[in-house]
Amino acid sequence: MRLDKLLNECGLATRSEASKLIRKGGVTVNGVPAKSGGDPVDPEKDAVVFCGRPVEYRKFTYILMNKPEGTVSSTDGKDGDTVISLLPPELRKIGLFPCGRLDKDTVGCLLLTNDGSLSHFLLSPKRHVDKKYFVRCEKYVSDSDLALLSGGLDIGNGEKTAKTDVMRISEKEFEITLREGMYHQIKRMVERTGNSVVFLERTSFAFLTSEPTLGRGEWRYLTPEEEERLKRYDKNTNGR
Ligand code: URA
């Protein structure tokens, strides 16, 4: 593959930045300074060093983001307000997309990847990946409302939610676990109880959780261990 493509896929630079840096002598391949972005490299065999740092080739990239309010979880937003626009330029061009969707006003845990088969695997209804949400409602939520939410509800358009776990947090707040993903699911469920959602945060996706160290709009790469655990995710073992 081309050297500039490899550096771009590793999220180190855009292809044009990589080419400029290569021409300035900032990249070596097997100890020899590379000449141009078009130099061929074998990512499995060649030792590439970028600005003094050995490059570890990653075919795919996996990112955990703490989605802020007001961003769209898609790749093409009209006003540059997508979650992808929160990433640095070199990561905006490697085909990352959100694994599942959160509404514009929902915040919290969002996995971004360019690994289509992992995304497909995790979003498959058979997989039943646990997604936990913190929900704050406009009005008091009674115990019978919580029972309705956990028991499975007809939310219109011929859609019925599955039974699930719901736990009270306060008079107007609760935690709910979804293992499916219908459009505006929680908001529609809450509306069926005569209430409405005023704040929604996804606190976990599989074993990945919102972390206090990751502020809204911040992100980090998954560790190799987390990547492996996601790839062999099984609801009964939580990927262990
Ligand atoms: N349910 C909703 O209503 N919105 C979300 O963003 C996620 C789940």
Q: How many domains does the chain have?
A: 3
Looking at the structure, do residues 144 and 170 belong to the same domain, yes or no?
A: yes
Q: Which two tokens stand for residue 61?
A: 């990239």
User: What spacing in Å lies between the alpha carbon of 57 and ligand 1's midpoint?
Assistant: 35
The pLDDT score that the predictor gives to residue 9 is: 85
81, 103, 143, 145: the active-site residue:
103
Q: Do 117 and 213 lie in a common domain?
A: yes
Q: Do 22 and 117 lie in a common domain?
A: no
CA 48 to ligand 1 center in whole angstroms: 43
pLDDT of residue 127: 79
- Residue 235: is its pLDDT beyond 70? no
**Residue with CA closest to ligand 1 atom 7:** 102
- The structure's pTM equals 0.87
For the segment 103-118, the average pLDDT, to the nearest whole number, is 96
Task: Based on the fold, state whether residues 72 and 119 are members of the same structural domain.
Answer: yes
Contact in structure between 135 and 190 (CB atoms under 8 Å): yes
In a domain, 87, yes or no: yes
Residue 195: give its domain's CATH number: 3.30.70.1560
Q: How far is the CA of 124 from the centre of ligand 1 (A)?
A: 17
Q: Could you tell me if residue 236 is inside a domain?
A: no
How do strand 219-221 and strand 62-67 relate by DSSP bridges? antiparallel
pLDDT of residue 153: 95
Q: Could you give the C-alpha distances from 127 to 7, 43, 44, 122, 204, in angstroms and in order? A: 34, 32, 32, 6, 16
Catalytic-residue membership of 39: no
pLDDT digits 0-9 by tens, 60-90: 999 999 999 999 998 876 667 999 999 998 8
H-type helices in the chain, by residue range?
Answer: 3-9, 15-23, 89-92, 116-123, 143-151, 185-192, 224-231
| CATH code of 50's domain | 3.10.290.10
pLDDT at 142 over 70: yes
Taking alpha carbons only, the member of 216, 206, 199 closest to residue 66 is 216
Structure tokens of 137? Answer: 């409602």
Predicted local confidence at residue 213, as pLDDT: 87
For residue 103, the ligand 1 atom closest to its alpha carbon is 6
**172-229 per-position pLDDT tens digit:** 999 999 999 899 999 999 999 999 999 999 999 999 998 888 999 999 999 999 999 9
Q: Lowest mean pLDDT: which of 104-108, 131-135, 212-216?
A: 212-216
Q: Are 74 and 120 members of one domain?
A: yes
Predicted local confidence at residue 188, as pLDDT: 98
Cα atoms in the 13 Å half-sphere on the side-chain side of 157? 9
Residues 78 and 21 placed together within one structural domain of the fold: no
Nearest to 161 by CA among 142, 130, 135, 189: 189
| Mean pLDDT of the residues in the chain | 92
pLDDT of 118 > 90? The answer is yes
Domain-terminating residue out of 13, 38, 54:
54
Pocket test for ligand 1, best of 177, 186, 197, 203 (most atoms within 8 A of CB): 186
Residue 234 banded pLDDT, cuts 50, 70, 90? confident
Phi first, then psi: what are they for 144, rounded to 5°? -70, -30
Residue of 104, 184, 193 best suited for mutating to test ligand 1, as the one with most atoms within 8 Å of CB: 184
What is the reported pLDDT for 79? 67
Ligand 1 binding pocket includes 200 (Cβ within 6 Å): yes
Nearest-atom number in ligand 1 for the CA of 102 is 6
Q: Are residues 97 and 154 in the same domain?
A: no
Answer yes or no: are the C-beta atoms of 202 and 102 closer than 8 Å: yes
Output the pLDDT for position 238: 66
Which range in 14-28, 38-52, 137-151, 210-224 is most confidently predicted, on average pLDDT?
137-151
Distance from residue 187's CA to the centre of ligand 1 (Å): 6
C-alpha 68 – ligand 1 centre gap (Å)? 14
Residues 118 and 80 in one domain: yes
- Do 100 and 218 have their domain in common? yes
CATH number at residue 87: 3.30.70.580
Residues in Cβ contact with 142 at an 8 Å cutoff, skipping those fewer than 6 apart: none
Residue nearest to atom 2 of ligand 1 (CA): 184
Which residues span the domain enclosing 39?
3-54
